[in-house]
Structure 1
Amino acid sequence: MRSLALSLALVLCAATLAQAEVKTKVIQYEVGDKTFDGYLAYDDSIEGKRPGVLVFHEWWGLNDYAKKRTEMLAKLGYVAFAADMYGDGKSVDHPKDAGEMAGKVRANVDEWQKRATVALDILKKQPQCDADKLAAIGYCFGGSTALQLAYTGADLDAVATFHAALPTPSEEQAEAIQAKVLVCHGADDAFVPQTAIDAFQKKLKEADVDLTFVAFPDAVHSFTVKDSGKHGNPGMQYNKAADEKSWAMLLDLLKNNFGGGQQD
Structure 2
Amino acid sequence: MTPNVTAHHCVNLPFRIDNFIRGEKWIFGDAWCRANLFMLSVNRSASIAFMTAVAVDRYFKVVHPHHKINHISTKQAAGVACFIWGVVISLRIPLLANNLLSVENNVSLCRSFSNYEKTPLGIHLHYAVFILEFFVPLILLVFCSVRIACILHSRQMNKDKRGQRAIRTVLVIVGVFVLCFFPSIGTGLTALYFKKLGDKYCEGYNLTSQLFSMSIAFTYLNSAMDPVIYCFSSSVFRNYLKKAVNQTGLMKLQMSRRESMPSGSD
TM-score by length of 1: 0.25
Which is helix-richer, 1 or 2?
2
Which is strand-richer, 1 or 2?
1
TM-score by length of 2: 0.25
Larger Rg: 2
